[in-house]
Structure 1
Amino acid sequence: MTNTIKEIAGANFILALGTNTTEAHPIISLQVRKAMRSGATLAVVDPRKTELADLANYHLQINSGSDIALLNCMANVIIAEEIWNKEFVQERTEEFEALKEMVAKYTPDYVESITGVSAETIKAVARGYALAKNATILYTMGITQHICGTHNVFAVANLAMLCGQIGKEFSGVNPLRGQNNVQGACDMGALPNVFTGYQPVTAEESRAKFASAWGVQDLPAKPGLTLGELLDAAGTGDLKGMYIMGENPVLSDPDALHVTHVLEKLDFLVVQDIFLTETAELADVVLPAVSFAEKDGTFSNTERRVQRVRKAVQPEGNAKADWEIICLVATAMGYPMQYSSAGEIMDEIAQVTPSYGGISYARLEQGSIQWPCPTSDHPGTKYLHSGKFSRGLGKFYPVEYVSPDELPDVEYPLVLSTGRRLYHYHTGTMTQRTGALEVAYPEEYLEINSSDAEKISVCDGDKVKVTSRRGSVEVAARVTDTVTPGLVFTSFHYPEVAINQLTNPARDPISKIPEFKVCAVKITKL
């Protein structure tokens, strides 16, 4: 997030794109409600009629995958009506004319035919965002999990810069992270092309710095593979072994039957986790890790806030903290890795990571800190891009609308979209072992519109088979107006309804994220 969670409450206009905030981020949604109680306008862009959409002043129930057309149209309206922030654009951005030329064809009437949202509604939302004193954009995987996910984000950034709604309090571009420490994992280089703090592995100075810190002669200059690319390499036999930590791709990755197949082809699979997941059941070796309550460390949350995690109980059996297991494995492989504590590792992080340079356990004992925090006397950074962008001028990246990779046809007439439910998390590894959440939300169902249900004589509660070009699952139907005709929805939390056996593995060519949000399916009554 460019801004803080609490700042959402101070916004005058909130544009929520592809985010089911009340279910997926219920604590953050409290700030949305607080803003609305103070008079803020909420516009929700989502194919589903979620609880957040029910709260909204505007619900733009777009056709799945048409976000770029909508965002370009908003820019078109703002430019045509000359209500963009001319001072901000002039002083802090470049390539405005290229954006203006690109969005010219995305007129409200044209985009209504793509998105299904009325031209008048699009114009009203565009005006509201542009003219608000402080407007914030919230988005999640409804924006990123498309073959054009990166371009979706470019379109979001274009809109924020066009209206000067970034680099100041109560505004910004704010992706809400889907897991408690996924921001921290990325910050620490759990990506194939960067070291910690997003320092590129292709940069010689970065490699030299880390080689020196780690006591080795040199480090590879070639970026590694993303998760999907790793599975591709396993499928072709180019990759022989894999080490999976805290991930359950047998349920969480698209075309999951293929994922299982390629993992079974590996010569050697290691899984490190706190439970015996569906993926761990395929492993040659399972390394028992510990939960958050059994280890020391830090979490860096969605607003870049680094917070201490403290051991509350001793680990069970032979389970160890992840860093301890990694040290033991590295040492056994010939590279002695001998840290004495998580605090010592934090000290190294500060030494090699400029954005974390001023963060230490001693400071974190006094309270959390938001990066960038370059020095020990720096207070941390509440919001980003104040005064200037990290690259200097903010660059407009004009992007064209493209349709999803897989569209409905005669054989597969419906669009399946997937997401999350309030009561469960990811693949249910933890939340379906509580003894309480399973009672509150015991089984999954498929949301289907009444007009589609009527065509196949399905009533509420009937069992149906959902089939795509990749597989089939059985699930109970819930007839509802939460989804529009032609759209069905369910979550990926339940092993019994392994919906990712159906989803499309087609990826964004830049981020390599699969298109979980759109695939073509057919439904038959059982």
Structure 2
Amino acid sequence: MTVLEAALANDIYIPHLCFREGIEPFGGCRLCLVENTDGRLVTACETPVEDGAEFISESERINNIRRTVVSLLISEHSRDCLSCPSSGDCSLQEVSSYLNLTEDDLSRLRQDLPESEPDESNPFFIRNHDKCILCGLCVRVCRATGAEAIDFAYRGHDTRISTFMDRAITESSCVSCGECVEVCPVGALVSREEKPFTEVKTVCPYCGAGCGIYLGVRGDRVVSSRGDPDNPVNRGKLCVKGRFALKFVNSPERLKKPLIKVDGRFVEVEWDEALSTVAERLSEYSGEEFAAVASAKCTNEENYILQKFTRAVMLSGNIDHCARLCHAPSVRSLSMTLGSGAMTNSIAELEDSACILAVGTNPTETHPLTAYSVIRAIRSGAKLVVIDPRRTRISELADIHLQNRPGSDIPLIMAMCRFIIEEGLHDTEFIESRTENFDEFRDAVMALDLEEVESLTGVGVEDMRRAAITYASKKPASIIYSMGITQHAHGTDNVIALSNLALLTGNLGKPSAGINPLRGQNNVQGACDMGALPDLLPGYQTLDDSFRFSDKWGSTIPGPGMTLPEMFDAALEGRLRAMYIMGENPLLSEPETEKTRKALESLDFLVVQDIFMTETAELADVVLPACAWAEKDGTFTNTERRVQLIRKALDAPGEARTDWEIICMLAEKMGAEGFDYASSSEIFKEIAALVPSYAGISHERLQDGGIQWPCTSYEHGGTQYLHSERFSTPTGRASFLLPGYHVGEVSEEYPMVLVTGRNLYQYHTRSMTGRVPELDSFSDREELLINPLDAAKLGVEDGGTVLVKSEGGSLEVRARVSGDVMEGVVFMTFHFAETPANVLTGGDRDPVSGMPELKFTPVSIRPVE
């Protein structure tokens, strides 16, 4: 601790402006001066505490200096405090009051206000240079996020905080996270959001990081959000969506009453009629004729109830959710190699990694708070190796970026394993004591044809060797990956290859190491944990263990069901006749969009339960209005296995109800027993009784903060990292497995490869972010990124329209010429319904996990006249 931190921790106030906990000290404002025993004045924010040291924090000498410093600041600062939004919450006001600064103190100085217009270009906040005190907090926090959009510019009296070339903030590398607004001690950076009347502690509903937030509420509206400084995931920090994009809850487009389609048009009805209709129709189907789609955006309790309803009431094993399209390969492969399919370590542990290998992931866009931890690790001296066909912000920070051809990850990773063995960098003690099948694996990688690997990947052999040595020689080393690895027809084998790499170097079962899949949606980990999978029960228990559930539920548990893509196949074939979709929009998120549309239209009966009239809901026979996350209690489980409470902050609009209440009312309408829960906490008690890894968790325990599973008893504190003593396999050892691979090929008709992904400012199918119009300032339409060399060959102009065609379909989209994609590769997101990228994708599936191919779609491109 520094002297200032020690003083503040002991309720000793020392005036300061440029200090904020968690941000590197600066010592710029000079207000925290204290006197040591030598009579020397030192800055308390930069001086470390030592046992027995003595400091004087208050004296006439010190306060005279402080008054002069503050007077000088005010002389160049707007004094119109009454019109300032930060009035009453301004550190400069606080310090001035504490020092009893008077007009006489200020009259000795000539006021010299700079003349500048406020920068109002950003839709979320305003910058006003006239109120800036040059404390540098905004600069330092911007650097910590990796954006580095602002810095000190000019010199002396003309010094100011500026963007590059002093342009508007929206023309800089700013990512609108609002961290600068949060730390600004005065009114130089001010949010456009309303002040809340009350705040409720909860969890962000976007990506799988699971950031803690205080949700600001005024009346019946969400008005603000700020990070929870006590949450270990984000420690008070947020991204643009977590801070500014939560007002979708207030949208007038929210569903408020149940709807039944009559003669092609929706008609509002009462709940009893809607549920009676659904119960009557679903009673006509059971077993293979019925399927349910759970939701990674709904709570653990709601996903548990839907899979229970599907299995116990509808007697069907056909339950799945969007993990099939993101991390189903992680669940399968890591269960095969390590015994558990979850992230082995914690997000915060990345900061203490000596090396981070980021494969097929773009965390600055998709998991910003995880990226912050990576950036902090780099700043502390960690090495970063990136494997990605695209150039991204994280790759720009890397020591080594291997820009491999899409779909060629396995030969590249296996070659890295070979180089590690050749260099003697493999952990022989770990391999001998904690793994099996190493000899077979070693023989296979040593037999690799490196020339063939170089040809397949497009990466030089020496670059691969350098990356392998960097990863293996720096310990602890952590692997992070996401859908660039999993969304392949060989996604399971991709993850197996990464698991081999971690096992080879002994980077498992210890802090700041491991293999860490970054989950894309807020509760995709929880939905998997709750058994929203066709072949696994809650807690990843096999159907052979179903007696525990049949005893509890009073029902025979059906056998394995269909995966999400198989459901649509079955609907087209007439085998699947009824479907219940909760909180998902497969018409946009599924590959082969037109096939998905035909499948949904082929159903006899479709029920959609959601908060908005999504593209999928438009096709339903009955639409049921659900509560948004801010309108209910429950739990989410984040990407690092941390189970956290979400808390109700406001009432739902109209007659919308929680997802679990709707399903329970439906079950009772159908004569089922065991669905008479009084609260979500009661549902969680049943989960804890049936799922060993959740056995020690309850809503009551979570009041004090999240707990990482496995947590097997109420005396257990949770598990920060997995496999510390043994792996969760029958033998207790992890297995080296040989991944098979086939690198995809293009054709003369479709000579380029389309890769799909996400961007920072939109989320999934935009059912939420599409109701936050400010985000359109940054991303309001789809674009196709194309390499300049390809654009020149094809006659494609930047901003021009192109026709993209695959075997599955075609669409027109605006082109953006960019060096971020390699030659022969194009990139699109899948956010926009007006330009649905998944019209183009589809075809092959991973034979083990059922994952459709989304990261390698051969396409043709031509400009549209």
Q: TM-score, normalised by structure 1?
A: 0.97
Which residue does the alignment assign to 2:388? 46
**Does residue 826 of structure 2 align to residue 507 of structure 1?**
no
Which residue does the alignment assign to 1:180? 522
Taking the aligned partners of 2:831 and 2:680, their CA distance within structure 1 comes to 31
Alignment match of 2:684 (pick from 342, 346, 353): 346
Q: Give CA-to-partner distance per residue, 1:60-100, whole Å, 9 cap, x none.
A: 10000001001110111111222100000000000001101
Q: Which amino acid aligns with 1:348?
A: E
Give percent identity, aligned residues only: 52
Which residue does the alignment assign to 1:258? 595
Q: Secondary structure at the match of 1:211?
A: helix
Alignment match of 1:475 (pick from 796, 813, 816): 813
Taking the aligned partners of 2:650 and 2:449, their CA distance within structure 1 comes to 59
Q: Which amino acid aligns with 1:396?
A: F
Taking the aligned partners of 2:840 and 2:773, their CA distance within structure 1 comes to 29
Query: More relative contact order in 1 or in 2 (CA 8 Å, sep 6+)?
Result: 1
Alignment match of 1:387 (pick from 704, 707, 725): 725
Which residue does the alignment assign to 2:715? 377
Alignment match of 1:171 (pick from 513, 521, 535): 513
Q: Which amino acid aligns with 1:469?
A: E
Which residue does the alignment assign to 2:613? 276
Taking the aligned partners of 1:106 and 1:330, their CA distance within structure 2 comes to 56
Q: Give CA-to-partner distance per residue, 1:345-388, whole Å, 9 cap, x none.
A: 01111111100000001100111100000001100000000021
**Does residue 403 of structure 2 align to residue 61 of structure 1?**
yes
Which residue does the alignment assign to 1:207? 546
Which residue does the alignment assign to 2:780? 442
Q: Secondary structure at the match of 2:654?
A: coil
Q: Secondary structure at the match of 2:813?
A: strand
Taking the aligned partners of 1:340 and 1:275, their CA distance within structure 2 comes to 26
Alignment match of 1:401 (pick from 727, 741, 745): 741
Taking the aligned partners of 2:554 and 2:749, their CA distance within structure 1 comes to 59
Q: How does 1:66-465 map to 2 (within 5 A)?
A: 66-201=408-543, 203=544, 206-216=545-555, 218-220=556-558, 222-336=559-673, 337-391=675-729, 392-404=732-744, 407-465=745-803
Q: Give CA-to-partner distance per residue, 1:226-276, whole Å, 9 cap, x none.
A: 100111110111111111111111111111111101110110111111111
Q: Which amino acid aligns with 2:512?
A: F
Q: Which amino acid aligns with 2:817?
A: V
Taking the aligned partners of 1:419 and 1:36, their CA distance within structure 2 comes to 25
Taking the aligned partners of 1:30 and 1:92, their CA distance within structure 2 comes to 33
Taking the aligned partners of 1:264 and 1:118, their CA distance within structure 2 comes to 49
Taking the aligned partners of 2:391 and 2:540, their CA distance within structure 1 comes to 37
More displaced 10-residue stretch of structure 1: 449-458 or 351-360: 449-458
Q: Which amino acid aligns with 1:32?
A: V
Deviation, structure 1 residue 107: 4.7
Taking the aligned partners of 1:340 and 1:367, their CA distance within structure 2 comes to 23
Q: Which amino acid aligns with 2:553?
A: W
Deviation, structure 1 residue 208: 1.3
What is the aligned residue count?
Answer: 519
Taking the aligned partners of 2:380 and 2:399, their CA distance within structure 1 comes to 14
Deviation, structure 1 residue 111: 1.5
- Listed as ranges, the gaps of 5+ residues in structure 1 are none
C-alpha contact (below 8 Å) 1:290/1:315 kept by paired residues: yes
C-alpha contact (below 8 Å) 1:468/1:520 kept by paired residues: yes
Which residue does the alignment assign to 2:103? none
Taking the aligned partners of 1:485 and 1:318, their CA distance within structure 2 comes to 53
Q: How does 1:483-494 map to 2 (within 5 A)?
A: 483-494=821-832
Taking the aligned partners of 1:324 and 1:195, their CA distance within structure 2 comes to 21
Taking the aligned partners of 2:836 and 2:395, their CA distance within structure 1 comes to 27
Taking the aligned partners of 2:727 and 2:578, their CA distance within structure 1 comes to 41
Q: TM-score, normalised by structure 2?
A: 0.60
C-alpha contact (below 8 Å) 1:296/1:310 kept by paired residues: yes
Q: Which amino acid aligns with 1:445?
A: E
C-alpha contact (below 8 Å) 2:385/2:471 kept by paired residues: no
Deviation, structure 1 residue 22: 0.5
Deviation, structure 1 residue 121: 0.8
C-alpha contact (below 8 Å) 1:76/1:107 kept by paired residues: no
C-alpha contact (below 8 Å) 1:507/1:514 kept by paired residues: yes
Q: Which amino acid aligns with 1:376?
A: Y
C-alpha contact (below 8 Å) 1:12/1:40 kept by paired residues: yes
Q: Which amino acid aligns with 2:611?
A: I
C-alpha contact (below 8 Å) 2:578/2:606 kept by paired residues: yes
- Listed as ranges, the gaps of 5+ residues in structure 2 are 1-342
Q: Give CA-to-partner distance per residue, 1:309-330, whole Å, 9 cap, x none.
A: 0000111112111100110111
Q: Give CA-to-partner distance per residue, 1:144-181, whole Å, 9 cap, x none.
A: 11111001111111110011001100100000000010
Q: Which amino acid aligns with 2:823?
A: P
